[in-house]
C-alpha cells in the first residue's frame, strides 16, 4: 500500500511531471522530494514509496489507470491529455468526502465553516457524473481564469514567511518586470484572487498582484530575510471596495439613496459589509458607510443603474456624473 503521508500532494506533483516532462526514475525521485520539501521542509519519500506510487498510477483496479508505458526508463504519459484530475473519484476518496461532510455537519451553526460545506457540496455535485440532467448546482464559473493554480503555493509561501522573486507583465507593458516580493495576505474579489505584500523595488507600501496571466512565475529566495508588514489587513479591507487603494486615500462617509425598493437587495448582499441604516422614517431607503473612493466603488454603485443616488460626498457625486455623461455619449 502506498505511503499515505502527503499522498495527494505527491500524486498531484507526479501527475504534473508525467504530463509535462520526461523524467528518469532517479531525477523523478529527486524532483518529487524537492517539491515535497517546499510544503513540508526537511521531508521526503523513499525510493520504495515512489515505486509504490508509480504502481498505483498504473493500476486499473485500485489506482488511476494512467497511460504510463511498462518496461521503460523514462516516465511520461503516452496520452498527453490524461490527468488524474479529470478522472472520477476513487472509492476511498468518495468515502473521505462523505466523512468530511458528516464532520462539518457537527458545526453547521458555526458561520466560519459555511464556505467549506458549500465547497464540499459543489465537489460532490460535479462528480455525480457527466449527465447534465443529474446536475443540481449551477454557479458562476470563470473558465478563462488560470490564476487559481498560484493560490496554494502562495498561501504556503505566506505561512512559511518566504521571500519571492516575481516576474510580472502588465497588460500594457512591453516587457516583464522582475522584483523581490514579501507576500503578506491573499484577497478574493469579483471571482479573482490577489496577493498583497511588500515590493522591495517600490516605494508603495502595500503592493497588490493579481493571480492571473500577468503573474508569469515566481521563485523562492532562500537567502533573503522575510519582512512582515505592520498592517491591520482586516481594517484595511473593511474600508474599501475591491482591491485598488492609493497610498494617500482618505476614508470618506458615503450616503446612498435607493429607489424602487432596491435598498433591500443591497442589504442582503452589501458590497461593503460595515454599512449602517438611518432610523428616520424619511430615510429608510438610505444607507451609509465609511470607505475610500476608488473605481471599484463607482462600478458597484453603477450596477444599480437608475435605482440609486449618491447623496454624499460631493466628490463621489461628481465622479458618478462624469461616468454617466461618458455613457450617454455612447447612445
pLDDT digits (tens, 9 = 90+) for 87-122: 776 676 777 777 777 777 777 667 776 777 677 677
Q: How many CA atoms, within 13 angstroms, populate the side-chain half-sphere of residue 312? A: 11
Can you give the pTM of this predicted structure? 0.71
Residue 273 inside a domain? The answer is yes
Residue 70 sits in the same domain as residue 104: no
**Residue 239 placed within a domain:** no
**How much is the pLDDT for 25?**
93
pLDDT higher than threshold 70 for residue 43? yes
CA angle 169, 175, 179 (to 5 degrees): 60
Q: Are 98 and 81 contained in the same domain?
A: no
Residue 114 lies in a domain: yes
Cell of 281: 422614517
Looking at the fold, whether 115 and 186 belong to one and the same domain comes out as no
Q: Which of 231, 264, 291 is the last residue of a domain?
A: 231
312 has a pLDDT exceeding 90:
yes
Residue owning grid cell 505527491: 10
Q: How many domains does the chain have?
A: 4
Summarised one tens digit per residue, pLDDT across range 235-252 is 999 999 999 998 888 999
Q: Say if residue 179 is in the same domain as residue 225.
A: yes
In angstroms, the CA 215 to CA 297 distance is: 25
Residues 76 and 103 reside in one and the same domain: no
The sign of the CA dihedral 236, 115, 40, 192 is negative
Look at residue 1 and tell me if it is in a domain: no
Q: Helix 151-159 to helix 25-39 angle, to the nearest 10 degrees?
A: 60
The 3-class SS string of 66-127 reads: CCCCCCCCEECCCCCCCCHHHCCCCHHHHHHHHHHHHHHHCCCCCHHHHHHHHHHHHHHHHC
Residues 196, 231: Cα–Cα separation, whole Å: 11
Q: Does 171 reside within a domain?
A: yes
Judge whether 142 lies within some domain: no
Question: Which of 71, 86, 101 is a domain's end point?
Answer: 86
Residue 242 lies in a domain: no
Do residues 196 and 257 both lie within one domain? no
Domain containing 117: what range?
91-134
pLDDT confidence of residue 165: 94
- Quote the pLDDT of residue 278: 85
Kindly state whether residues 23 and 65 are assigned to the same domain: yes
- Residue 72: band (very low, low, confident or very high) from pLDDT cuts 50, 70, 90: confident
Q: What is the pLDDT of residue 1?
A: 45
Give the DSSP H or E segment for 19.
helix 7-20
Residues 6+ apart with CB under 8 A from 3: 45, 49, 52
Is 22 within a domain?
A: yes
Amino acid at each position: 500500500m502506498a505511503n499515505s503521508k502527503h499522498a495527494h500532494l505527491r500524486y498531484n506533483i507526479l501527475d504534473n511531471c508525467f504530463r509535462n516532462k520526461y523524467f528518469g526514475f532517479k531525477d523523478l525521485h529527486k524532483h518529487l522530494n524537492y517539491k515535497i520539501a517546499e510544503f513540508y521542509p526537511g521531508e521526503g519519500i523513499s525510493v520504495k514509496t515512489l515505486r509504490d506510487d508509480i504502481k498505483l498510477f498504473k493500476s486499473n483496479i485500485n489506482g488511476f489507470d494512467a497511460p504510463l508505458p511498462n518496461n521503460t526508463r523514462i516516465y511520461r504519459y503516452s496520452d498527453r491529455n490524461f490527468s488524474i484530475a479529470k478522472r472520477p473519484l476513487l472509492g476511498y476518496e468518495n468515502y473521505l468526502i462523505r466523512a468530511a461532510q458528516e464532520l462539518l455537519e457537527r458545526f453547521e451553526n458555526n458561520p466560519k465553516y459555511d464556505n467549506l460545506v458549500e465547497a464540499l457540496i459543489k465537489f460532490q455535485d460535479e462528480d455525480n457524473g457527466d449527465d447534465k440532467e443529474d446536475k443540481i448546482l449551477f454557479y458562476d464559473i470563470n473558465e478563462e481564469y488560470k490564476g487559481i493554480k498560484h493560490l496554494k503555493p502562495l498561501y504556503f509561501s505566506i505561512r512559511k514567511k518566504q521571500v519571492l522573486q516575481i516576474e510580472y507583465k502588465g497588460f500594457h507593458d512591453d516587457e516583464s518586470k522582475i522584483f523581490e516580493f514579501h507576500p503578506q495576505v491573499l484577497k478574493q474579489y469579483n471571482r479573482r484572487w490577489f496577493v498583497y505584500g511588500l515590493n522591495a523595488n517600490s516605494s508603495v507600501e502595500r503592493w497588490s498582484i493579481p493571480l492571473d496571466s500577468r503573474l508569469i512565475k515566481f521563485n523562492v529566495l532562500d537567502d533573503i530575510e522575510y519582512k512582515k508588514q505592520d498592517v491591520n489587513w482586516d481594517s484595511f479591507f473593511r474600508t474599501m471596495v475591491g482591491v485598488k487603494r492609493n497610498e494617500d486615500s482618505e476614508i470618506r462617509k458615503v450616503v446612498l439613496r435607493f429607489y424602487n425598493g432596491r435598498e433591500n437587495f443591497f442589504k442582503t448582499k452589501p458590497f461593503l459589509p460595515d454599512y449602517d441604516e438611518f432610523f428616520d422614517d424619511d430615510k429608510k431607503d438610505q444607507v451609509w458607510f465609511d470607505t475610500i473612493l476608488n473605481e471599484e466603488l463607482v462600478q458597484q454603485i453603477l450596477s444599480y443603474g437608475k435605482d440609486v443616488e449618491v447623496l454624499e460626498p460631493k466628490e463621489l457625486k461628481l465622479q458618478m456624473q462624469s461616468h454617466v455623461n461618458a455613457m450617454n455619449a455612447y447612445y
